[in-house]
């Protein structure tokens, strides 16, 4: 199992980024795929046509998202924590993803960089 810690800069206010990460209609705008998402703890979520699935654990409105991501029959939960910090350029995002299966690490890391936060950077650049 591996852990990933990464930082991203997005040219939008933390409240906007939080909505982009938690509102299923906004998620669909920047991913191009339907999403199932709620800001209620203990609810299931799904993004990218079911490529990413898991359970929402905790939320701090406009500041923090904690989720459990599912990887098959993995016994130890894979936990994603996204913290949003206001910055003069917009939002500094702190990502921590723990307990990633070794064989999935490179794909997960590329997914965060390109498909997830890369897509969000493109979304804000276009708007």
**Domain range list for the chain:** 13-121
User: Which pLDDT band, with edges at 50, 70 and 90, does 116 fall under?
Assistant: very high
Query: pLDDT above 70 covers what percent of the chain?
Result: 99
Helix pair angle (14-22, 24-31), 10° resolution:
90
Q: 3-state secondary structure string, the chain?
A: CEEEEEEEEECCCHHHHHHHHHCHHHHHHHHCCCCECCCCCCCEEEEHHHCEEEEEEEEECCCEEEEEECCCCCCCCEEEEEEEEEECCEEEEEEEEEEECHHHHHHHHHHHHHHHHHHHHHHHHHC
Architecture category of domain 13-121 in CATH: 2-Layer Sandwich (3.30)
> For residue 37, which phi and psi values (nearest 5 degrees)?
-150, 145
Residue with token string 């989720």: 67
**Distance, CA of 1 to CA of 78 (rounded, Å):** 9
C-alpha pair distances (Å), 109 with each of 1, 57, 81: 13, 21, 14
User: Which pLDDT band, with edges at 50, 70 and 90, does 5 fall under?
Assistant: very high
* pLDDT given at position 72: 73
pTM for this prediction: 0.93
């Amino acid at each position: 199992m591996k852990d990933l810690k990464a930082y991203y800069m997005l040219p939008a206010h933390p409240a906007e980024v939080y909505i982009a990460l938690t509102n299923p209609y906004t998620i669909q705008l920047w991913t191009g795929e339907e999403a199932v998402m709620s800001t209620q703890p203990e609810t299931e979520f799904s993004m990218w046509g079911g490529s990413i699935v898991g359970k929402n654990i905790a939320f701090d409105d406009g500041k923090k998202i904690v989720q459990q991501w599912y990887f098959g029959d993995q016994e130890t939960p894979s936990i994603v924590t996204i913290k949003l910090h206001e910055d003069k350029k917009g939002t500094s995002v702190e990502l921590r993803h723990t307990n990633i299966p070794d064989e999935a690490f490179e794909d997960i890391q590329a997914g965060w960089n390109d498909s997830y936060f890369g897509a969000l950077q493109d979304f804000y650049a276009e708007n």
